[in-house]
């Protein structure tokens, strides 16, 4: 080849577009597309070149390998593991033992020299396999071929390029192609040779522009760990997890919805003193407890994810959620995108069909982790410690392992569910289980120890982000509902929600927003500490409480910030899931005995004979005993609305006894930047005390709306302690006195032009009560999620009767 003759088998990223998949495969085509089209928008992609599919075919054809491989694979039975392994090994050995043609080798070395430039030491590159049928919108080929990192020098480059060609015929790749109906002889392999990003000194990971479990499309999910990114991809570590909300990010806000620190036990780094290219080393305990990325890095990656998704969506003429790999250079602090491909599971989900799994019973929890999918499965535990154990695996077993290996995919298809010690929700086990449609729980840390061989267990991924392994075979229901033809009512149907982990999934129910978001659940589950104990941490006398708080708040010098961070993230998940619909957050409504049960709480709470009608709700917010704690609640709400841009969040004051008390609470809120009417802030009041009904016209002057709390209202109208077993039978929201007062307050609110809804239990339990509310002209009914479809039909029926 002369200096002026273009290479036959090499294409530089600068000369590649997404239309070149047949020439350079999916990975390389995508890298070239981004290198050419998105660098101008600030997205950074390391330079490199591709060895084309023609180079692969030249190698196969000129050496006779193509015919030999065809003969070896004739009559293959992928269900027979021994047969698959024996033939796969024979094919790979043949490729590795065959020298490459001289012209192909020379072009590779010339391109490597050009990429290296003037540097004297051999350039470190990543060698990535890129099959011509991979990363298509309907087939992920996740982990089917190999990637080699920190490849240096001519000899190493040629060796790993040959290994890449051989990886087209790993056992898993052969099995996958057969099952997907791809002809081996029609698929070729291109190789990407790309400058390494020194993330061995920094961090790396994966991000999706769609929620991987629910298909919620307005969030970017980012996983991050220290070192080279293969640990995250393969599930070798439990990474950090971050969510960013796309709609308000694009408006210039900083909506980091949630941050979860992963254990990040190991990091993959360059092996400078050994014979290997890379090695795993332990991460220091202090670093494991810290986030691998700053908020600015998280937001920058999310912005790039949006740019990449928007570009590919425009290119394809339809929404195209993306699966992206990124790396941060530890020397320069720069972020880079090193791969991008279409997401292939949730993007194809039929959003008109809602399938929900629900346990009928519960038993002892054996272990928990991050849930993948939303299904439930039962079966016997089969612990797989190495490839030898795969032969014992039977259809319907629960696969339990430290982590899954791509070579296991032929067996993973037989599993009823998958449980791993390590890995996050973007790891290999998670990706494959989604594609197979089986539930998985990853990152359990001790699953292989907590579970016993042959033990019957139930795997539940139907309870939010946390997956549970229960002892024994538990019964469960599966409900499939088509919402395509469901007519919507004039009366707004909203949801009662508490758990942020369920918000994305529940957003697909037919709804008009959230009528009651319970702050107490977030405090109880994600914070666990009394806010005053955090504010007063340095002077806390309770040594046991101090130790618990120290453990929960690792990395926080200002302990109160832990409360604001966790609360704002929990609330933000709820607000984002239903954006731009209203999400009405009820401020804390713990009673004094419940506050006392929080860590460190007993020192700050009075002992009351009847806390149900004691120091709760509005009366706490301006009182010196809790004023400083309420300030933290206000800070969290303000952060969600102002920093994250989620102005669909409204707030609601519970147990507000008098109009004067409502004014005092609003004055307190205003001190902390929450002024009614500013930036669209609406403030509602719970209608749960007879005074709220009797003085509804006066309350309407200072509040934007009312939400009827039928539980407390019934209790106070009938004088019944709903917690008392003796008088509990008298408690009945359908009592004539209760219904009369509800009718009265609805009429008053309509006359005053104020919104009026209900968030109490009655319409969820009794469809006829919901119909009564429709007759009275209520604006909205907020329901428990599992009753939405049933009660919506009852509401529609009554509206049709009324005309």
Task: Kindly tell me if the per-residue pLDDT of 650 is higher than 50.
Answer: yes
Task: Kindly tell me if the per-residue pLDDT of 579 is higher than 50.
Answer: yes
Q: State the pairing for strand pair 780-783/755-758.
A: parallel
**Per residue in 228-252, pLDDT tens?**
999 998 889 999 999 999 999 999 9
- Catalytic one of 306, 428, 530, 749: 428
Distances (CA, A) of 72 to 88, 94, 409, 604: 9, 10, 21, 76
Average pLDDT, stretch 243-271?
Answer: 96
Which of 95-104, 166-175, 369-378 has the weakest average pLDDT?
A: 166-175
Q: How confident is the model at residue 4 (pLDDT cuts 50, 70, 90)?
A: low
Residues 6+ apart with CB under 8 A from 321: 208, 209, 210, 217, 309, 342, 343, 346, 347
Task: Kindly tell me if the per-residue pLDDT of 803 is higher than 90.
Answer: no
> SS3 for 624?
coil
Asked if residue 783 lies in contact with residue 481, where contact means CB atoms within 8 angstroms, the answer is no
Task: Kindly tell me if the per-residue pLDDT of 417 is higher than 90.
Answer: yes
Taking the C-alpha atoms of residue 614 and residue 607, their distance in angstroms, rounded to an integer, is 10
Average pLDDT, stretch 2-30?
Answer: 90
Residues 6+ apart with CB under 8 A from 50: 10, 11, 12, 13, 16, 24, 25, 28, 32, 130, 190, 191, 192, 193
Higher pLDDT, 173 or 12: 12
Beta bridge pairs of residue 441: 371, 419
Is 428 a known active-site residue? yes
Residues 6+ apart with CB under 8 A from 648: 513, 575, 578, 579, 580, 581, 582, 583
Asked if residue 446 lies in contact with residue 330, where contact means CB atoms within 8 angstroms, the answer is no
Q: What percent of the chain has pLDDT over 90?
A: 77
Asked if residue 424 lies in contact with residue 430, where contact means CB atoms within 8 angstroms, the answer is yes
Average pLDDT, stretch 494-498?
Answer: 95
How far, rounded to the nearest angstrom, does the alpha carbon of residue 87 sit from its chain's CA centroid?
39
Taking the CA of residue 140 as centre, how many other CA atoms within 13 Å lie in the half-sphere pointing to its CB?
22
**Per residue in 663-703, pLDDT tens?**
999 999 999 999 999 999 999 999 999 999 999 999 999 99
Task: Report DSSP letters for 16-79, one per residue.
Answer: --GGGHHHHHHHHHHHHHHHHHTGGGT-----EEEE-HHHHHHHHHHHTHHHHHHHHHTT--TT
Taking the C-alpha atoms of residue 474 and residue 459, their distance in angstroms, rounded to an integer, is 9
Q: What is the pLDDT of residue 102?
A: 96
Task: Kindly tell me if the per-residue pLDDT of 137 is higher than 50.
Answer: no
Q: What is the pLDDT of residue 141?
A: 43
User: Alpha-carbon torsion 581, 587, 593, 594, what sign?
Assistant: positive
Report the mean per-residue pLDDT for the chain: 92
Taking the C-alpha atoms of residue 397 and residue 190, their distance in angstroms, rounded to an integer, is 37
Distances (CA, A) of 589 to 219, 269, 315, 489: 30, 49, 50, 31
Which of 128-132, 505-509, 547-551, 722-726 has the weakest average pLDDT?
A: 722-726
Q: What is the pLDDT of residue 51?
A: 97
Is 759 a known active-site residue? yes
For helices 736-752 and 767-776, the axis angle rounded to 10 degrees is 40
**CA quadruple 721, 724, 729, 731: dihedral, nearest 10:** 20
What are the residue ranges of helices labelled H in 465-502? none
Q: Per residue, what are the HEC states of 386-420?
A: CHHHHHHCCCCCEEEECCCCHHHHHHHCCCCEEEE
Q: What is the pLDDT of residue 56?
A: 95
Average pLDDT, stretch 362-372?
Answer: 95
Asked if residue 123 lies in contact with residue 152, where contact means CB atoms within 8 angstroms, the answer is yes
Q: What is the pLDDT of residue 648?
A: 98
Distances (CA, A) of 673 to 404, 569, 661, 670: 50, 19, 19, 5
Q: What is the pLDDT of residue 138?
A: 42
Q: What is the pLDDT of residue 435?
A: 78
Asked if residue 400 lies in contact with residue 415, where contact means CB atoms within 8 angstroms, the answer is no
Asked if residue 506 lies in contact with residue 769, where contact means CB atoms within 8 angstroms, the answer is no
Which of 93-102, 580-589, 609-618, 722-731 has the weakest average pLDDT?
A: 722-731
Average pLDDT, stretch 68-86?
Answer: 86
Average pLDDT, stretch 483-488?
Answer: 79
**Per residue in 141-154, pLDDT tens?**
444 567 899 999 99
Query: Does the predicted TM-score (pTM) go above 0.85?
Result: yes
Task: Kindly tell me if the per-residue pLDDT of 178 is higher than 80.
Answer: no
Q: How confident is the model at residue 496 (pLDDT cuts 50, 70, 90)?
A: very high
Distances (CA, A) of 493 to 727, 780, 795: 32, 6, 9
**Per residue in 289-317, pLDDT tens?**
999 999 999 999 999 999 999 999 999 99
Q: How confident is the model at residue 412 (pLDDT cuts 50, 70, 90)?
A: confident
Q: What is the pLDDT of residue 432?
A: 84
Taking the C-alpha atoms of residue 49 and residue 55, their distance in angstroms, rounded to an integer, is 13
Task: Kindly tell me if the per-residue pLDDT of 76 is higher than 90.
Answer: no
Q: What is the pLDDT of residue 140?
A: 43
Q: How confident is the model at residue 275 (pLDDT cuts 50, 70, 90)?
A: low
Task: Report DSSP letters for 200-252, one per residue.
Answer: GGSEEEEEESS-TTT--TTEEEEEEEEB-THHHHHT-S--EEEEEEHHHHTTT
Task: Kindly tell me if the per-residue pLDDT of 485 is higher than 50.
Answer: yes
> SS3 for 319?
coil
Enter the tokens of residue 50: 């591709």
| Nearest residue to 222 (alpha-carbon basis) of 327, 137, 128 | 327
Q: What is the pLDDT of residue 187?
A: 81
Phi, psi of 429 (to 5 degrees): -60, -40
Taking the C-alpha atoms of residue 376 and residue 476, their distance in angstroms, rounded to an integer, is 8
Q: How confident is the model at residue 428 (pLDDT cuts 50, 70, 90)?
A: confident
Task: Kindly tell me if the per-residue pLDDT of 109 is higher than 90.
Answer: yes
Q: What is the pLDDT of residue 49?
A: 98
Q: What is the pLDDT of residue 135?
A: 43
- Catalytic one of 306, 634, 656, 759: 759
Instruction: For the beta carbon of residue 695, count every other beta carbon within 10 angstroms.
Output: 15
């Amino acid at each position: 080849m002369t200096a002026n003759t273009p290479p036959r088998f090499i294409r530089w990223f600068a000369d590649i577009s997404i239309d070149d998949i047949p020439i350079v495969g999916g990975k390389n085509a995508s890298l070239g597309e981004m290198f050419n089209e998105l660098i101008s928008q600030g997205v950074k992609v390391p330079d490199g070149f591709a060895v084309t599919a023609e180079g692969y075919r030249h190698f196969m054809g000129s050496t006779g390998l193509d015919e030999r491989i065809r003969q070896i694979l004739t009559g293959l039975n992928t269900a027979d593991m021994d047969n698959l392994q024996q033939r796969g090994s024979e094919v790979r050995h043949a490729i590795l033992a065959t020298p490459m043609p001289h012209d192909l080798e020379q072009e590779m070395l010339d391109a490597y020299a050009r990429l290296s430039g003037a540097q004297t030491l051999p350039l470190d590159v990543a060698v990535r396999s890129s099959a011509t049928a991979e990363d298509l919108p309907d087939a992920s080929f996740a982990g089917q071929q190999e990637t080699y990192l920190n490849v240096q020098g001519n000899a190493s480059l040629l060796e790993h390029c040959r290994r890449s060609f051989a990886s087209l015929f790993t056992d898993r790749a052969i099995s996958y192609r057969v099952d997907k109906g791809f002809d081996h002889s029609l698929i070729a392999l291109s190789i990407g040779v790309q400058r390494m990003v020194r993330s061995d000194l920094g961090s790396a990971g994966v991000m999706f522009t769609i929620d991987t479990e629910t298909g919620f499309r307005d969030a970017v999910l980012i996983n991050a760990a220290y070192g080279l990114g293969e640990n995250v991809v393969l599930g070798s570590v439990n990474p950090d997890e971050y969510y960013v909300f796309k709609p308000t990010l694009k408006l210039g806000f900083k909506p980091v919805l949630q941050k979860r620190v992963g254990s990040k036990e190991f990091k993959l780094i360059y092996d400078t003193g050994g014979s290997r290219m890379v090695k795993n080393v332990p991460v220091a305990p202090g670093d494991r407890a810290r986030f691998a990325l700053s908020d600015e890095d998280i937001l920058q990656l999310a912005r790039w994810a949006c740019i990449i998704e928007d570009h590919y969506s425009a290119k394809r003429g339809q929404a195209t959620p993306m699966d992206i790999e990124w790396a941060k250079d530890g020397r320069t602090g720069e972020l880079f995108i090193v791969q991008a491909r279409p997401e292939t599971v949730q993007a194809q989900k039929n959003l008109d069909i809602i399938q929900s799994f629900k346990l009928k019973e519960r038993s002892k929890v054996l272990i928990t982790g991050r849930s993948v999918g939303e299904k439930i499965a039962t079966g016997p535990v089969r612990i797989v410690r190495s490839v030898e154990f795969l032969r014992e695996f039977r259809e319907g077993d629960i696969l339990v392992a430290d982590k899954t290996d791509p070579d296991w995919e032929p067996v993973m298809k037989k599993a009823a569910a998958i449980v791993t010690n390590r890995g996050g929700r973007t790891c290999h086990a998670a990706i494959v289980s989604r594609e197979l449609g089986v539930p998985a729980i990853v990152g359990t840390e001790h699953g292989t120890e907590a579970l016993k061989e042959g033990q019957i267990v139930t795997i539940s991924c139907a309870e939010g982000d946390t997956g549970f392994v229960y002892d024994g075979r538990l019964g469960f229901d599966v409900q499939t509902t088509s919402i395509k033809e469901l007519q919507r009512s004039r009366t707004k149907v909203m949801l009662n929600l508490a758990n942020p982990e369920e918000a994305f999934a529940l957003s697909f129910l037919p709804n008009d927003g959230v009528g009651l978001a319970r702050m107490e659940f977030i405090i109880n589950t994600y914070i666990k500490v009394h806010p005053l104990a955090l504010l007063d941490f340095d002077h806390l006398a309770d040594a046991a409480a101090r130790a618990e708080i120290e453990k929960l708040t690792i990395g926080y010098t200002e302990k109160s910030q832990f409360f604001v961070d966790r609360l704002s993230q929990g609330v933000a998940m709820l607000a984002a899931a239903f954006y731009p619909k209203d999400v009405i957050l009820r401020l804390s409504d713990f009673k004094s005995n419940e506050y006392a049960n929080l860590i460190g709480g007993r020192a700050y709470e009075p002992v009351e004979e009847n806390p149900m009608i004691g120091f709760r709700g509005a009366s706490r917010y301006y009182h010196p005993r809790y004023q400083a704690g309420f300030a933290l609640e206000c800070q969290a709400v303000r952060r969600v609305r102002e920093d994250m841009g989620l102005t669909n969040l409204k707030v609601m004051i519970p147990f507000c006894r008098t109009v004067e008390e409502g004014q005092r609470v609003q004055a307190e809120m205003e001190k902390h930047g929450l002024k009614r009417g500013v930036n669209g802030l609406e403030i509602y009041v719970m209608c749960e005390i007879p005074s709220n009904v009797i003085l509804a016209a006066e309350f309407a002057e200072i509040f934007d709306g009312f939400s009827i709390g039928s539980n407390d209202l019934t209790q106070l109208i009938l004088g019944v302690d709903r917690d008392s077993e003796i008088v509990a039978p008298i408690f009945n929201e359908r009592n004539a006195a209760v219904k009369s007062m509800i009718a009265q307050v609805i009429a008053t609110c309509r006359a005053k032009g104020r919104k009026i809804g209900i968030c109490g239990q009655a319409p969820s339990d009794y469809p006829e009560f919901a119909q009564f509310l429709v007759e009275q002209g209520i604006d909205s009914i907020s329901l428990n999620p599992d009753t939405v479809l049933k009660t919506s039909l009852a509401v529609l029926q009554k509206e049709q009767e009324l005309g």
